[in-house]
Structure 1
Amino acid sequence: MHIVNITDIRQNASKIITRVVESGEPAVVLQRSKPVVYIVGASAYEEMLRKLEAAENLFRVAETKNTLQEITRLREKMARRGKQQDSVPLIRELREGRVR
């Protein structure tokens, strides 16, 4: 990763951008010795967005799977009770995460 400071950006922005594009290596811009901005090529940025979206989709799938498992447990618990009872206690247990 190439490290530049704010002054370098002001004076040599086009050179820094060209280096990032040609090498594919990102640059980090420091201000008072702290990173404030990363400069990455457009294709690298778009690839990061695609990977982030894929990760978010996997997370949603996992959440959905967990929710369906909780619903299955709730149905099994209701079936074990045999008769139709007031569902308020079961719903409360489900909300509080006590249904197992």
Structure 2
Amino acid sequence: MVMFNITEVRQNASKIISHALETKEPIVLLQRSKPVAYIIEAKAFEEIQKKAKKVEQYEKIEMAKDTLKRLAKLRGEMKPQPDSTPLIRQLREGEGRNE
């Protein structure tokens, strides 16, 4: 990987970009000896973006699968509840009232 400082980029931008296109290697831009940016071929950047989207979709699918597994586990742990219809009928018809 080739490194250039900002001053070199200002003076030789077209040569540096040509180098990136010819070698297909990223170029590191330095400012005060620290990396601040990369110059990469547009096609390489587009491939990175596609891969990042695929990873994001995969992560969403995995989260959904995990959520469904947790819901299934909770559903299995739930105790069956008695049917409340007879109780409601008794209350509506007045049975069970203290008259």
TM-score range, shorter chain: 0.7 to 0.9
* Matched pairs, number: 82
Q: Which structure would you say has the larger Rg?
A: 2
Once residues 18 and 40 of structure 1 are traced to their aligned partners in structure 2, the CA distance between those partners, rounded to angstroms, is 11
Q: Give the TM-score of the pair, scaled to structure 2.
A: 0.80
Residue 71 of structure 1: how far off its partner (Å): 0.8
1:8 counterpart letter in structure 2: E
Which residue number corresponds to residue 80 of structure 2?
82
Which residue number corresponds to residue 20 of structure 1?
20
Which residue number corresponds to residue 55 of structure 2?
55
Aligned identity (percent) is 45
Pairwise CA RMSD = 0.9
Runs of 4+ off more than 3 Å: none
| Long gaps (5+) in structure 2 | 83-99
| Long gaps (5+) in structure 1 | 85-100
1:39 counterpart letter in structure 2: I
- Cα offsets for 1:10-64 (capped at 9, x unmatched): 0000000000011101100000010001000000000000110011111011100
Q: Give the TM-score of the pair, scaled to structure 1.
A: 0.79
1:34 counterpart letter in structure 2: K
Once residues 37 and 6 of structure 1 are traced to their aligned partners in structure 2, the CA distance between those partners, rounded to angstroms, is 10
